[in-house]
Structure 1
Amino acid sequence: MSIKSSLTVLSLILLLGNTSAVSSKEVSVKTLTKTSQSWDGTELPAYPSGKPEITVLDIVIPAGTELPLHLHPVINAGVVITGELHVTKQSGEQLILKAGDPIVELVHQWHKGKAIGDEDVRIIVFYAGEQGKAITVKKH
């Protein structure tokens, strides 16, 4: 075998070796939440009957900041990426979330959130709304 042929074979072995190493890694899927209820146990409403619109928000709440009282007229769920978030219903019932925690939000219920501690809260939230309709309503 010539040197050129040997180098070609060696290159192919190295290339295929790297390919199999990459393909030996497995895909990992972890269900963070699967429910038909919001975090307080209330049954979620039916999806809107109009033209669907999915909205994904990357929300950052500065440390120590309290959001105003608001509600969501659509189903939404999220995952806290950083920080600690306290969610409080108008009744006073509270949920404490830390990084990695999922939340299925309240629908048609007044609530507020507050970033607790020294770290900003970052939360990714997915809204299953209806085209042209609000996903959040602030209480005046």
Structure 2
Amino acid sequence: MMRAALCAIAGAAALSVGASVAEERASAEIVTEIARATKTAAGRPITLPQGPLEVVASIYTLAPGARLPEHKHPFQRYAYVLQGELMVQQADSGSRVYRAGEFVIESVDRWHFGATVGDVPVKLLVIDQSPPGVETTVNRPSQP
């Protein structure tokens, strides 16, 4: 009888430990949505090319005082600001400053440039979605 009671207690303890392990697993995964959008920074719908896509993730680091040349992206590009502040100026509209923790849904086929703001380097996680092997950034040709 004593042995049966001990087995029942051990079984209950095992179930209790199993339940707390399951709770730990569930609480170990925290999802924080940082962006949800259907439009790019220029207000256009987000679209992807048809057919096979290549996804490339890169870390970009821009020194304080850096200004990128005016350029455009023929395909969708996303950036997450890991550090610093980045000002993005659209050629045909306004500008916006993106800060650490913000998500950028870049404009497609629209001229723009970016520049760092302040004394801290800007670090970006950049994700491109494009047909395999194509250029994802086109610099604006020099104008005479």
TM norm structure 2: 0.78
Letter in 2 for 1:89: Q
Contiguous gaps of at least 5 residues in structure 1? 1-12
Structure 1 CA distance, aligned partners of 2:119 and 2:133? 37
Q: Which AA in structure 2 matches 1:30?
A: T
Counterpart for residue 108 of structure 1: 109
Deviation (angstroms), 1:52: 0.9
For residues 64-116 of structure 1, the C-alpha deviation after alignment (integer angstroms, 9 at most, x for no partner) is: 10000000011111110000100001125101111001110000000000011
Q: Which residue of 2 aligns with 1:36?
A: 38
Q: Which residue of 2 aligns with 1:95?
A: 96
SS of corresponding position for 1:124: strand
8 Å contact kept, 1:50–1:131: no
- Alpha-carbon distance in 1 for matches of 2:88, 2:52: 30
Task: Give the partner amino acid of 1:136.
Answer: T
User: Are positions 1:52 and 2:29 aligned together?
Assistant: no
Which runs of 4 or more aligned residues in structure 1 lie more than 2 Å from their structure 2 counterparts after TM superposition?
A: 19-26
**1:50 Cα deviation after fit:** 3.5
Contact 1:62 1:121 in 2 (8 A): yes
Matched residue type, 1:35: A
Matching residue's letter, 1:91 = D
Give the Cα–Cα distance (whole angstroms) in 1 for the partners of residues 35 and 27 of structure 2: 25
Match of 1:10 in 2: none
Number of aligned residue pairs: give it: 125
The question of 1:79 aligning with 2:80 is answered yes
What amino acid does structure 2 have at the position aligned with 1:101?
E
Letter in 2 for 1:29: V
What SS is found at the alignment partner of 1:54? Answer: strand
Please, what TM-score do these two structures have when normalized by structure 1?
A: 0.80
Q: Among all aligned residue pairs of Structure 1 and Structure 2, give the percentage whose two residues are the same amino acid.
A: 25
1:71/1:109 contact within 8 Å kept: yes
Q: Give the alignment's Cα RMSD to 1 decimal.
A: 2.1
Give the CA deviation at 1:24.
6.5
Could you tell me whether the CA contact under 8 Å between 1:77 and 1:103 is conserved in 2? Answer: yes
